[in-house]
Structures are given as structure tokens and as C-alpha cells.
Structure 1
């Protein structure tokens, strides 16, 4: 059965969700700033020009797309983790193992191995008809796993021979076959002296029960509040690292302050250059200054007129006006 082609989100979803969020933040910084920096230090004029354009934010949309894609992958990983944990905690006996679907049976086996320290890869190659369902890696060793949820049928030697052939073909170190039921005597004789482990339903159930007794310390990563806090932290860091947000946070102190209602806004004070004193003319001499002082006239206000003096002045003024009217010729008007 051909392996399904994985997307970038599938790759992130196969990781732990904190790792996926961290990868998204690293991708954001690398695309937003790393590309421009690498191009600018290349020494090539064309690449340096492309680096300056990248530094201006031309790749910012791609950085946000990578960040959001990793967040989506981390969300899928979080939901899968909760689902696998539910499978582990809900098992009570062989009856519950037989009641689940074959896909859930594979997920349960994978989670059981994951809790034992294995790095688990769900290949998607096995299906319901056979093949490699899981690939385990631990301590530099690779182990191939096939899961068989046969309720009323024993696992025969044919299945064991096929898995041994896959072990040789892919250069793996060991094989594990996990079955709900039991194995035929021929299958048990075939695995003697070979790196093949046969796990029946009772062995799997004992492993699950042992994991259930020590999983309380791992509940924190299964809580939605921790996942939401991780996503918000990554987005906040990305926003702070964005140039526009940084400019708003580091704006200069010269700004218009918002006043209370009814009071005028205070505008920033403009710098005023200091006034320079006017220098005295160099050609001024003591003689010219003395002459100007002597020629200066001082005017004093006249003393106010008395009543009789005022009437005499008005009389003389009227007489003068009459003489002026008689002696002045009239202007001709057209």
C-alpha cells in the first residue's frame, strides 16, 4: 500500500505541539529577517538589492503564512494528543480493546510506545490488510510495527514471515507485532532467535494499565489553556518583532499629548535659536557721540492756560481767520 504524500502541516502535526509552535516562530523570523540578511551580505549587487527589498517587508506575508501553518499543525497535534490520551485512559479490559476500530487500535498502540520513550511515526501504509503501521525509533534503533485487531482469528506464521522480510528489506533492527488475539504455534516457533516480538492483547493491556498509573504528570500539555497561551505567546512575539509595531513602541518623545476634554491640546515646543546682541558701530567716536548729545533738543510740555488767557487766545484766533479769509482769493470751480 503506497504511502500518502505528507504536507507541511502533516509534518508539524506529527510533532509535539510545543515543538510545532516553536518551529512556526523560527520560520517567521527566518523568512522575515533571515532571507534579507543572507542576500544583503552576499556581496552580489543584484542579491544585495533583493536583500534590501526583503528587509523592507516584501516577504512578510509569507512569514505570517508559515507561522499560521505551523499553528494549524500544532492544533492538529494537540487534538491528536488529546484523542490518544482518551484512548489510553478509557481502556478497562480486553472488551474495550475489541470494541474500538482498527484505526483506533493502531493509535492506541502508537501512543503506548510513545509513552515508553519511542519516537513514533504513523506511516499510513498498513491499513486493515497488513503492512507497516508504525515505525519506532529509540537509541539509534529502528523497529517496525504491525497491528492486528483480529477478534476471532489467530495471527499465523505467514504474517510473521512477511514482517521479517520487511525487516531485512528496509534494514530495520527489530519487529513488533501487536495483536488483539493470540498467535499460532508455528508463528511462535518462527520468531525464536530472531529480533521479532509478539505482543498479544493481554500484553498490550498490561502496558496500557501501567501507563495509566503514571500519566498524571503529563496532563498539563493536554489542557486547552496551555495550548491557547502558547499560540498567543508566539503571535505576540511575532507582532513585537514586526517593524511597524516596533516603530510604534519606540516612537520619539516629541508627540502631541491628548488633553482632558475642554482643555487645549499641548503641541510640542519648537526649538528657538538664541538672539544675538547687535554690535555697536565700530566708527562711532567720542566726538560724534558728544555732538549728538549737544544737538539733542529736550521738549517740555507747556503750562495749562487760565480761563482769561484761553478766551483771549480764541479771540485772536477768530480775528486771524477773518483776515485770512479776506486776503485769500477764492478758488474757481467749474
Structure 2
């Protein structure tokens, strides 16, 4: 990490393998055994998104002490963290401050601790003596400060994001899948609607064609005889007789005419 110094001795034990929030809980339980009323105000104690530079708030009678925990095993805690805790101490109205690391402090941090008598620095050796044997975690965690040089300078927050990355990736995958399925389903519905619309248009076109054809054709129901067009002469109707063509037809035609004439003679009155 840029701007940080590596530890001179790196611990490899159960305390170095616990998670950063478990480290805070271990320290909170330790101070409860010492008679303090401990308020776990850091992000490892609940749903707090920020710790404001304080992980534990210790109270005993009129005594108020702020505590900052650093679960660092690879890098030394710099003097900047010490100065920041001094400012937080005055803001919280505390009479003292404790900064605890599972690893080491830089020489400048230790020097700053000597200058301010209200602040106490506890390194990895001292904290192991305070806690005694620590149970091995069921799932070992990488220390929050062991990260590549290109990682952000704020190790705790970066490590927290990294620890939750599988859940974030799973949630992102589910969201992507849901969006994809929604898009596919909408596309499927659009295709069905388009197919139905095309089928309706084709059916309407066929019906219109059949209706137009039916309007141009003469009726064909039983008992109906289509009339032949009437011939006209200068716009007036003309009676067209079928002219006989064979001898038999001519004889029959003459016979019918003679019969017609006889009927006319009988039915027509005599002129005076």
C-alpha cells in the first residue's frame, strides 16, 4: 500500500485470522469484563455505515473513553490515525482514547502517543496478552490491510467491500437475469401481437375481396332466372323474336300464327 510501512513481524495465529468485526467484538467483550459499559458504535457492531473514527465507547461512572480498533497484520498503523483519534476524543467529550492494533505502530505513531498522555497505544503483542488464547475462526479471513499496492488507501472499507463482493455479484447476476427475461418476454408478446394483427388483416382482405366479387355476380339462388338484356332501337325497347330456322319450326310457327289470328277474329268486335 502506498504510504504505509510493512510490519517487522507478521503474526500467524487465530487472532490474525479472525475478521475485522470479530476483532472489534473481542475487544468489546474484554472491556465489559473489566467493568465498562461498552457501546459498540463502529460498523462492526450493527447497521452503522460509518464509525466516525470510533469503534467502541467505554463508560464507567464519570469516565468516558473512545476506542479505535485496527485489525492490521501486514502494515504498521501510522501517526495520522493517532492524531485523528485525539480529535475525535475531544469531539465525543471523552477523557481518554485507546487505539488498538493486531499488528504494529510506526515509530512516529508511538512518538505521538508519548506526547499525548490521554491516549494509549496497544500493539499486537499487548493485545494478545490482554485477550489470551483466541478460538480459531471457522472461516479464516484475510487481514484487511493485506492488499495489493493499487488498492485504495483506506484498507478497512476496501476489505469490507471485498468481503461482500460475492453477494453483490450474485445480486447483480439476478438483476441482470430478471431484466433479460423481462425483455425476452416482452419481445415474445410483441411477436404474438404482430402475428395476430397480420392474420386479422389478411382475413379482412380476403373477406373484402369476396364481398366485392359477390357484388358483381348475379344471384344464383334456386328459382331465379337471369333476364337477358333488352334490345333497344333508338333508345326504345324492341321486341326480338326468335326466327325459325328449320322447316319443322317454320310449319309450327305458321300454325301458331293461324291459331292466333283465329282467336283475334273471334274476340275482336266487328266494325260498323
The TM-score, its normalising length taken from structure 2, stands at 0.41
More helix, by proportion = 1
Q: Which has the higher contact order (CA 8 A, sep 6+)?
A: 2
The TM-score, its normalising length taken from structure 1, stands at 0.33
Rg bigger for which structure? 2
